[in-house]
Amino acid sequence: MVTLRLRPHHMLCSLSFRGKGYSNEFVKNFKAIHKKLKSEHTTIKIINCCDDICEKCPEKQGDLCNKHQIVAEIDDAYLRILQLHIGQTITFKHLETRIKKLLTIGDFKKTCSKCSWYPLNICTPIVRDLLENK
């Protein structure tokens, strides 16, 4: 069994990842994580600091993101919305089920509008499709 460490907001990013990112190294790392997430032999441990996706991110400094305050706000919102807690371990399939059940497009837009990737409109169509096809 493989356990990946993910921040709460990265659980949403993992659903909408389409091979774009900060650098080639970041994208390569995220692709490997994305592939592992799809395996039924992988679990996710929810953490509140830099995670496995952050490892190759240029915004990472130590265990924190340069955008720590904004990222922490987004993480806290998704913990509440998805009724999760730090230290919890779940499968990607269970996470996807929770997202479909508990997340609304309004919650997504309000929460993720603070993200620097939001204006690129990469995530919104994917999340909207996921929520409309419950």
Q: What is the rounded distance in angstroms from the CA atom of residue 105 to the CA atom of residue 91? A: 22
Q: What is the pLDDT of residue 76?
A: 97
Q: What is the pLDDT of residue 20?
A: 83
Do the strands 89-91 and 42-46 form a parallel or antiparallel pair, or are they unpaired? antiparallel
| Average pLDDT over every residue of 5-28 | 90
pTM exceeds cut of 0.75: yes
Higher pLDDT, residue 15 or 101: 101
Average pLDDT, the chain: 92
pLDDT over 90 at 33, yes or no: yes
How, if at all, do strands 42-46 and 60-61 pair? unpaired
pLDDT of 113 strictly over 70:
yes
Under DSSP, is residue 85 helix (H, G, I), strand (E, B) or coil? coil
> Do residues 111 and 81 lie in contact, with contact meaning Cβ atoms separated by under 8 Å?
yes
Looking at residue 134, what is its pLDDT? 67
Amino acid code (one letter) for 46: I
pLDDT per residue over 68-106, tens digit each?
A: 899 999 999 999 999 999 999 999 999 999 999 999 999
Residue 10: helix, strand or coil by DSSP? Answer: helix
Averaged pLDDT for residues 22-50: 92
Separation between Cα atoms, residue 87 and residue 112, nearest integer Å:
22
* Whole-number Å distance between alpha carbons of 49 and 52: 10
